Amino acid sequence: MSQAFPNPLQSLPTHQGVIVVDGGLGTLLQDHLDSSSPLAKAMWNASLIVTHPSIIQDAHLQYLEAGAQIITTATYQLSETSIARAVELATAEATPLPADPPITPVGLMTVAIKAAIDAREMYYARHPEAGTRVIAISMGSTGAQLGGGREYSGDYPGWSEERVASSWKSRLAQVREAAAILGLSDFCLAIETVPSLSETRAIAQALTEPAHVHSGIWSILSLVGSKLGESSTGEPLPDLFSLLHPIPHLAAMGINCSPISIALHPLLSSPSFPYSPALFCCPNGMVWDVQGCRWLEEPEEGNPQAGSDGAYTGPERWAAHLVRQVRSGSGPSPPLLLLGGCCMTTPAHITALSRALSPISHIV
């Protein structure tokens, strides 16, 4: 029998049906990374769990102060696979890895979750009147663990769907163990940047394993798209969303790490788009120009040249464009809409988003 954990999203106040999620944690942390270290090469911002957990805690606090109601942990690229890559790189470069904290999935997961818990407690102490804030334990797709941008290509050499599913089962068990060590129950998972039908199917298999279902843990699962209505690997997004419906304790589904137009496509498209029970949309702050290897401002309708020179006009424009697109949706509104940011978004974007949703004041 599963534990009777309530859906943590139901405890959050909303901006007329919208819950504000944090922005790009990696964007905020990237200036603190030692890009030459094996840890950073293999684990990106998760390397700071080992070297500077206090910086991660401060980043969480900045997003909470900006108006985020959900904060995601710095564990997007934390897994046995990424740790093995770090060890391999350290060995090849004859660079010893730190001995403390233990560089294990559960050990580092515990440190990362505690940084989020401590930030939330600091926020509550500053704002006794504040409503609930939820911690989402971030889990990047298998491609994020393999590196090289494979979470966008879905190209996993040597990884069958069965191996991907087995890896996800192990990772979910590690999260359950870390949460139990800390006595954390009011949280959810944020499974992010899933590029393909194959991995969606593998994740669905892992999330429906009896051991995980019985844990009662709720999940948010977000895909990554490259074109309107398509996954990064070119499959129809409705096919991927349909695989998620049977998953117990699914709090939300949606799209992250994509341009606004793609991330919001399920909301703006036909009423038959199969999302439920809540929609998750966390687009990037800018558009990646593959040919120019640079970030560009997303063009607005009627202004196709906007951002063609790479100029960035600020968080307010991003937030206003996002909210305007949400309000123009032709499909039925979901019971809950989770809005936040991904790459190239910062606390300033979340402040602007919160204000755009609530013109008088954002929720505290």
Query: How is 169-184 classified by DSSP, letter by letter?
Result: HHHHHHHHHHHHHHT-
Q: 350 in a domain, yes or no? A: yes
Q: Tens digits of per-residue pLDDT, 16-67?
A: 889 999 999 999 999 999 989 999 999 999 999 999 999 999 999 999 999 9
CA 266 to chain centre: 18
Q: 319 in a domain, yes or no? A: yes
Q: Tens digits of per-residue pLDDT, 203-221?
A: 999 999 999 999 999 999 9
Q: Tens digits of per-residue pLDDT, 351-362?
A: 999 999 975 434
Q: 3 in a domain, yes or no? A: no
Q: 363 in a domain, yes or no? A: no
Q: What is the DSSP letter of 329?
A: -
CA of 270: how far to CAs of 196, 239, 249, 263, 265, in Å? 22, 15, 26, 15, 9
Query: Which stretch of 94-103, 167-176, 189-198 has the lowest confidence by average pLDDT?
Result: 94-103
What's the average model confidence in pLDDT over 112-140? 97
Domain count for the chain:
1
Residue 281 labeled ligand binder: no
d(CA 77, CA 73): 10
d(CA 196, CA 235): 7
Residue 343 labeled ligand binder: yes
d(CA 153, CA 36): 25
Q: 299 in a domain, yes or no? A: yes
The whole-number pLDDT of residue 270 equals 54
Q: 336 in a domain, yes or no? A: yes
d(CA 72, CA 63): 10
Query: Which stretch of 72-81, 184-193, 264-273 has the lowest confidence by average pLDDT?
Result: 264-273
Residues belonging to the chain: 364
Boundaries of domain holding 96: 8-357
Q: Tens digits of per-residue pLDDT, 220-265?
A: 999 998 788 889 999 998 899 999 988 999 999 999 999 888 888 8
Q: How confident is the model at residue 295 (pLDDT cuts 50, 70, 90)?
A: confident
Order across the sheet with 18-20: list the strands: 18-20, 336-339, 278-282, 250-256, 218-223, 187-194, 134-140, 70-72
CATH number for the domain that contains residue 152 = 3.20.20.330
Pairing mode of beta strands 278-282, 225-227: unpaired
The whole-number pLDDT of residue 313 equals 61
Residue 188 labeled ligand binder: no
Q: 211 in a domain, yes or no? A: yes
Q: Tens digits of per-residue pLDDT, 131-162?
A: 899 999 999 999 999 998 899 889 999 999 99
Closest CA to 284 of 73, 26, 5: 26
Q: 178 in a domain, yes or no? A: yes
The whole-number pLDDT of residue 336 equals 86
CA 85 to chain centre: 22
Pairing mode of beta strands 70-72, 134-140: parallel
